[in-house]
Amino acid sequence: MKHLRAVNKKARRIEHMDPAIRPQSERHSDDDVVALQNQPNQAPPPRPHVPMGCALAFSPGWEVDSSGGTAGLCQPVERDIYDCYVTCFWPAQVPDHLNNYPDWAGKCAAATKDWRNLDLVFP
């Protein structure tokens, strides 16, 4: 090293350490999240940012289509609202339809067309 001088034994060990050996937390430090099928040294192919689904369950085709967009979803993107509202046990930021806002979605017959009719609630 030209600008630094190791003055104790530990410093000399660091000086001669293979620079490729880096702590786990510093590897891929500026890469995006990499799925498990990508090998550590294999650069991921360039493509749109793809979220990996709900925190609790992965529903393929639900959030993105095969190209990473939303045009070819097997369910409408508005289905999101009802996945949290009706079918999921996990409390989400949708109105409480059991006690306080039973008619919240009353004017929304088909979510893809009528989602604008969902009521606003002010708890």
Partner 1 sequence: MSAGAAYRLGEFHSFEGGGRKFLYVVPAGAIFEIDSDAAAVVGELAGKRATREELVAGLMQRDFAYNDAAELIDELAQVRAIVPVHAETEPLEPPPPDFPMQSLVMNLTNQCNLSCQYCYEFGEDKVATPDGKPKFMDIETAKGSVNFLLENSSGRRAVHITFFGGETLMNFPLLKRVVTYANARAAAKSRSIDFSLTTNATLLTPAIIEFLSENRIGVTVSMDGPPDLHNKLRVFANGRGSYDVIEPRVKALIHGHRTRPITARVTLTNGVTDVVRIYRHLKDDLGFHEVGFAPVTTSPDRLYAINEPGMNGVLEQFHILAGEYLEYALRGEMHGFTNVSDTIAELYQGVNKSHPCGAGLGLMGVGPSGDIAPCHRFVDSDTHAMGNIATGVDRAKQTDFLQRGHINNKYECHTCWARPLCAGGCHHEAFVRYGDTGHPNLHYCDWIRDWTDTCLRIFGTISAENPEFLEKFAERKAL
Per rule CB under 8 A, is residue 17 in the interface with partner 1? yes
What do you get for the CA distance between the two ends of the chain, in Å? 64
| Binding residues with partner 1: total (CB under 8 A) | 23
User: Which residue in 24, 39, 66, 99 binds partner 1 (CB under 8 A)?
Assistant: 24
User: Which residue in 2, 47, 49, 116 binds partner 1 (CB under 8 A)?
Assistant: 2
Per rule CB under 8 A, is residue 49 in the interface with partner 1? no
DSSP 8-state assignment for residue 24: G
Among the residue ranges 6-14, 84-92, 96-104, 111-119, the one whose residues contact partner 1 (CB under 8 A): 6-14
Per rule CB under 8 A, is residue 32 in the interface with partner 1? no
For the CB of residue 17, give the shortest distance to partner 1 in the complex, in Å.
8
Token digits for 100?
């306080």
CA distance 87 to 98: 13
CA distance 24 to 34: 14
Closest CA to 55 of 15, 86, 26, 83: 83
Per rule CB under 8 A, is residue 5 in the interface with partner 1? yes
Contact 91, 79 (CB under 8 A): no
**19: number of CA atoms within 13 Å, CB side?**
2
For the CB of residue 18, give the shortest distance to partner 1 in the complex, in Å.
10
Binding site for partner 1 (CB under 8 A): 1-11, 13-15, 17, 19, 23-26, 29-31
